Amino acid sequence: MALLKALVVDDASFVRDLVKRAIRQRFPVIELAEAPNGKRAQSLMSRTRFDLVLCDWEMPEMSGLELLQWMRQEEAYREVPFIMITSRGDKDHVVEAVRQGVSEYLGKPFSPEGLSKKIIKVMGRRLKDAMARSGKSMEGPADAFKESASLLTQTRKPVETAPPSQVQASPLVSPDAAPGPAAAKAPPSQTLRSLASVRFADSTLRSVVKDINLTEVRVIAKRDQAFPGILDPAVVDIEIADGEMARLNGYVHQLQAVDKRQDTDFVSVVIRFVDEDPAKLEDLSRFIARFRAGR
């Protein structure tokens, strides 16, 4: 029996499903509702009182920050925990969220474990008591929790990643190089069309954009890095203008060796985008236009 109510707000249905699946697995006492943007969330919150809100920052119609500002002005929601889940992890955004009254800040992409810790932190005794009344343990079997969203994330054993300095120093393949032995030996001095940083819950993949459209991006990366699993959530950081970055949410659709050798030096990774925010689609369109013009 559900004893608490939580609202999951994100314009990407994939992310909403990931959050809901993790919560259902770990906290069965929480009843879940969802909304694709702040405006719809506001409407739901006006009719039903929620005990927890987990919300994206960048969404159409009403952003997460605007929803947070509205909540903190409403008597019923002034003290309700609000977890901001977003790919915007820079200091300025964190400070602004804290200033507006955010309870916790969780960066995308996130692990089920990381999400669980944030929920336990903001819900405290209330969650513990609800779990106890339902006969559930707050600790929970570690293996069961690690499987929370395994269908979406293909959870794998932790991989030791190289220090950032080593990863950044690794030479990258030119996106113009054709698959095969020649591509594996492509010198780093070749002109690179576009660099992309692909972030996962436990690692960051330095790569080069090989192809991109409004649905997905294919990048080429050195094999000596930590690679994700199929369906792992990802955030793709691409530069759309000098110093201006776009952060696009997605998931791993495909992993493939660049050539037909087991000792291939490079791996192709396809990330399917899940964002439905018009502003992000506009940023992506700008990058695609610049990318194709450079061919």
CATH number at residue 228: 2.40.10.220
List the chain pLDDT tens, one digit each, 295 residues.
568 999 999 999 999 999 999 999 999 999 999 999 999 999 999 999 999 999 999 999 999 999 999 999 999 999 999 999 988 777 788 888 899 999 999 999 999 999 999 999 999 999 999 999 988 877 654 433 344 333 333 433 333 333 333 333 333 433 333 333 333 343 333 334 578 899 999 899 999 999 999 999 999 999 999 999 999 999 999 888 777 888 999 999 999 999 888 888 999 999 999 988 888 889 899 889 888 887 6
Residues 63 and 22 in one domain: yes
Supply the Cα-derived Rg of the chain in whole angstroms: 21
Residues 125 and 171 in one domain: no
Q: Is residue 75 part of a domain?
A: yes
Q: Is residue 236 part of a domain?
A: yes
Q: Is residue 159 part of a domain?
A: no
- Structural domain for 267, as ranges: 164-293
Residue 276's alpha-carbon distances to 9, 20, 139, 192, 241, in angstroms, are 13, 19, 36, 29, 21
Residues 146 and 14 in one domain: yes
Total domains, the chain: 2
Q: What phi, psi does 237 have (nearest 5°)?
A: -100, 120
Residues 134 and 215 in one domain: no
Residues 288 and 179 in one domain: yes
Assigned token pair, 89: 């992890």
Residues 113 and 182 in one domain: no
CB 227 within 8 A of CB 236: no
Residues 13 and 148 in one domain: yes
Cis? peptide before 181, omega within 30° of 0: no
Question: Can you give the CATH number for the domain in which 144 is found?
Answer: 3.40.50.2300
Residues 29 and 48 in one domain: yes
Residues 171 and 147 in one domain: no
